[in-house]
Structure 1
């Protein structure tokens, strides 16, 4: 294969990827806009497709449901420089402290998406009909955290516990943020939630107490 052929193929692949990303973004934005305007039950897949300018078939090439399209912008990617820093043992050398900073950095990056990110988060909190999608989102994020912990510390048997602690802090931050009003900073709420979780953990450790016997 000639060098020019490789360049042409690379350029073609990059163009396809950009088109796919543009299609996904258009469908996500249309789904979010119509859902904010009409509620989750008031926007149909057909209407989302019409607003975005794509077919019903194209929609389901990208999303398995209307709810998945609405919340897709909340998906967290671990393919970022901050994750590379974590995997390299940084920034502090303490795995739990570094995990907290990784999550905070990921949240900050997501929040930079602006009003769409805020609207999606509010929908996630306020609409009972999104409960299944919310659970799936939480499971996906938990699996990602567990995986990145195990990549840093192969064989780490506390990975699920550490990820669970982070998810508790995130859930607390989401609830407090949704209750605090328009001027609330999710970033600040998350930092405060980590402080609360850490305080509870220290209290439990200091308090001690008898450990129940395992069931027979």
Structure 2
């Protein structure tokens, strides 16, 4: 990643964290875009280069739809060939990258508080999960050779997103927490879902 891109990511992250801090201090209705920009030490015009609204800045970048390369690898049967492990890899990449988990730790912790204190943000977050679910459903259909309209890829994607929401709730975003912890929570959640719906032993 070049210097220019790193600077853009740093500015985006600074705006997200400034929006979260000010909103937690004052409440969403009492924070303006101008104040968020000033807190991040950028102009209002710069704010609008990154976000259309303060709500968009508060929601941040998680979850995001899988990038094209990660989606292609999954759809083609990779990276390991094991469906659940590959799905976990795809979901982890959508939640946060290895570098981003450390870089965004404070922002993620603040966002978790925001969802509890500012429930009007929840529809926007749920819309993001819905968009990601649609992308996952298409990727699962492509990998399995099913039609995107079939029930199986849609149910797999819906379950995966429920597991992802559960994971976000379970993570503490503590200093020692890493990508391996994210994957462990995802894997445990999928196992619990499988156990709950597996046929009872005779």
User: What is the TM-score normalised by the length of structure 2?
Assistant: 0.71
* CA RMSD across the alignment: 3.5
Q: Distance in 1 between matches of 2:32 and 2:155?
A: 39
> Hey, what does 1:134 align to over in structure 2?
125
What is aligned with 1:147?
138
Judging changes above 3 Å, is the alpha-carbon distance between structure 1 residues 202 and 45 closer, same or farther for their aligned structure 2 residues?
same
Output the TM-score relative to the length of structure 1.
Answer: 0.68
The CA distance in 1 between the partners of 2:164 and 2:6, in whole Å, is: 32
Match of 1:173 in 2: 167
Unmatched tracts of structure 1, length 5 or more? 1-13, 208-216
1:193: Cα distance to partner?
A: 1.8
Cα distance 1:17–1:192, how it changes in 2: closer, same or farther (>3 A)? Answer: closer
- Whether contact under 8 Å (2:65, 2:132) holds in the other structure is no
Structure 2, unpaired ranges of 5+: none
Aligned residue number for residue 58 of structure 2: 70
Matches of 2:170 and 2:88 in 1, distance apart? 18
**1-side partners of 2:198 and 2:82: how far apart?**
16
How many residues align? The count is: 190
Q: Tell me whether 1:103 sits opposite 2:91 in the alignment.
A: yes
Q: Does residue 112 of structure 2 align to residue 118 of structure 1? A: no
Q: Secondary structure at the match of 1:41?
A: helix
Secondary structure at the aligned position of 2:61 is classed as helix
Alignment partner, residue 191 of structure 1: 187
1:52 aligned to 23, 27, 40, which one? 40
